[in-house]
Amino acid sequence: MKHLLLALALALALSSDAQARDRRLAAPPADAASRAGRAPARTASLPASLTPTERKYLREHFADYLKSKLSRITERAPENVVAAPAEFESAEGVLFSWSGYTTLLKDLIKEVAQDAKAFVVVESASEEKSVRQELTESGVRMENVRFSRARTNSVWIRDYGPWWIQTSDGDREIIDLVYNRPRPSDDQFPAVFGPAMGIKVHPTKLILAGGNLILDGTGVAIMTDVVFDASEGGNPNMSREQLDKYMRELFGCHKVIVLKKMNEDGTGHVDMFCKLLNENTFIVAEYARPGDGASGNYEILNGNARVLASETNGKGEPYKVFRIPMPRYDGTSYTHTNSLIVNDTVLVPIYAQETDEPALEVYRKLMPGHKVVGFDCNDIIGANGAIHCITKLVMSDPLEVVHSVPRPTAGQPIVLEAKVSALQPLDPSKLTVQYRAARGAPWQTAPMTLTSDVDGVVRGQLPALAAGSTLEYFLRVEDTRGMHETSPEDASDTVFHSLQVAPAAR
């Protein structure tokens, strides 16, 4: 009971900033924007780093913090994990929490919504209405905006948002990591978002902020040693072997590379100095001179670059490491690696400093065919985060089958078609129709083929039936990785499509 009371006390009084934000939310709108029906401007109530109140709580009550984080979780490991997609892979869209830095959020949402979906988290119907108006007035392509209602403590959705895996039955599922901050609403977000999207969520007791995890898409995970740091909300009781086991069971990772965290960057996260551009290419930040970084960071970054250059990805290919300039530390740790890759677009933080253009040029050179866009992050970087920290990808469904039940005519072959969206090539030998004429009869199999006239369409043909006949069936497709999907989803002896044959026209 003691630890629950302490956690409750902290949640009620994280900081004076948090209380001020609650008052702003509860107070009637007073500024001109609010009177005009637009969402009032709000500043972030909490930084990406721990607040002094949170840090004091961890220092004095760490055992209670750890117990409150882990005691209520019933872990549910995923089954048949095929892959954990990397950031540079296909994404449906991007998650944003509308809880601060809204000028930057609007700019990012406008860019993302040009070609992908922007999932905007708001707290209420009234906030959704005002944010919708504000985004519309900003020229955002609103047909690509989706709103999700949930209470959050902060804007740093990278660190508490959902992580994605792909399973052998063709589904995308969510891994719900434990947020290394005493911010209960943030920590609960994946458990709210998943069911709202109809996606299975797997709770885990692994305390790991999202900004401190890079997945390369080939079974390798990269993070810093802050994962074990109690002073940053990590779990010092977790062994390296336990960490490896978690990453293997949750994400299918067979290798975990633990780098050294930077000093004085606020979070210790890997995304503050490192970015994976494809499955074998890293950029690692570099200070021009030893004195340009906070204590020891010049050497730390060079050491981390050497470690990555000595490693291989899951395919056995050596990582290539390129360096990107790091702005000089002046009490704030600036970063150009805290960027976001959204399909063919790269959103990069810039600061009106001399490193901006050279940093953008690194992205352009290493990512040909991508649109590279810089965004001024001077307002947010003082809170120890930038673009990557306030965004979280919603990865694409790996295998989707869309099929409409036809109404065939007596005496004519029954033609079945489906549109298949797949991230990997389909296996032509594993495209089938399972069908039967009566409930309880054995299933028969007929092949389907990829059509040459329409991309992504599979087609099959079954024998003609008499008028009034009923046919039960389901479609099954499989890609070259062994990932499969059916239509209807989760087809079985009791879950299937049914069609009835119409009389021939007279």
Cα-based angle 432, 438, 439 (whole degrees, multiple of 5):
90
Query: Rounded to whole angstroms, how far apart are CA atoms 60 and 184?
Result: 19
Query: For residue 485, what are the β-bridge partners?
Result: 477
**Which one is predicted more confidently, 22 or 226?**
226
- Using DSSP, state whether 126 is helix, strand or coil: helix
User: How sure is the predictor about 72, in pLDDT bands with cuts at 50, 70 and 90?
Assistant: confident
pLDDT tens across 74-109, in order? 999 999 999 999 999 999 999 999 999 999 999 999
* 505: alpha, beta or left? (left if phi > 0; alpha if psi -120 to 50): beta
Percent of the residues in the chain that have a pLDDT greater than 70, as a whole number: 91
* Rounded mean pLDDT, 466-475: 95
Enter the tokens of residue 449: 């083929």
* pLDDT for 326: 98
- Cβ neighbour number for residue 321 with a 10 Å cutoff: 19
DSSP β-ladder status, 399-402 and 497-500: unpaired
Report the pLDDT value the prediction gives residue 454, as an integer from 0 to 100: 57
Which pLDDT score is estimated for 438?
81
Q: What is the pLDDT of residue 41?
A: 39
Q: In this predicted structure, what is the pLDDT of residue 453?
A: 57
Q: Residue 198 — pLDDT band, cuts 50, 70, 90?
A: very high
**Does pLDDT of 168 surpass 90?**
yes
3-state DSSP call for residue 315?
A: coil
The 10s digit of each residue's pLDDT in 450-466 is 986 557 899 999 999 99
Q: Does residue 5 carry a pLDDT above 80?
A: no
Q: Is the pLDDT confidence value at 16 over 50?
A: no
Alpha helices, DSSP H only, in 355-489? 356-366, 378-381
Residue-wise pLDDT tens digits, 417-457: 999 999 989 999 999 999 998 888 999 999 999 986 557 89
Cβ 478 vs Cβ 484: under 8 Å: yes
Residue 342 and residue 346: Cα distance in Å, rounded? 6
Q: Are 427 and 478 a contacting pair, CB within 8 Å?
A: yes
Number of Cα atoms under 13 Å in the Cβ half of residue 25 = 20
3-state secondary structure of 86: coil
Q: Peptide bond preceding 428: is omega within 30 degrees of 0, i.e. cis? A: no
Give mean pLDDT, residues 126-153: 98
Q: What gap in Å lies between CA 258 and CA 274, rounded to an integer?
A: 12
In the chain, % of residues over pLDDT 90 = 87
Residue 19 pLDDT > 90: no
Q: 378 φ, ψ to 5°?
A: -65, -35
User: Is residue 273 a contact partner of residue 301, using CB atoms and an 8 Å limit?
Assistant: yes
* 172, pLDDT greater than 50: yes
Whole-angstrom distance, CA of residue 292 vs CA of residue 286: 10
Flag whether pLDDT at 152 surpasses 90: yes
Q: Give dist(CA 319, CA 299) in Å, integer.
A: 20
SS3 18: helix
CA distance 250 to 255: 13
298-326 pLDDT tens trace: 999 999 999 999 999 999 999 999 999 99
pLDDT greater than 70 at residue 174: yes
How many CA atoms lie within 13 Å of 74's alpha carbon, on the beta-carbon side?
0
Closest by Cα among 33, 143, 155 to 105 = 155
Torsion of CA 37, 43, 44, 50, to 10 degrees: -160
Vertex 14, ends 11 and 17: CA angle to 5°?
130
What does the buried/exposed string (b/e) look like for 212-243 if buried means 16 or more CB atoms within 10 Å of the residue's CB?
A: bbbbbbbbbbbbbebbbebebbbbeebeeeeb
Length of the chain: 506
All domains in the chain, ordered by first residue: 70-395 (3.75.10.10), 399-500 (2.60.40.10)
SS3 for 172? strand
In the structure, what pLDDT confidence band is assigned to residue 505 with cuts at 50, 70 and 90? confident
SS3 content of the chain, % helix, strand, coil (to 5): 30, 30, 40
Query: How far out from the chain centre does Cα 346 lie?
Result: 15
Q: Return mean pLDDT, the chain.
A: 91
CA nearest to 320, candidates 284, 285, 280, 286: 280
Task: Bin 243: left if φ > 0, else alpha if -120 < ψ < 50, else beta.
Answer: alpha
Among residues 172, 215, 167, the alpha carbon closest in space to that of 482 is found at: 167
pLDDT, tens only, 348-382:
999 999 999 999 999 999 999 999 999 999 999 99
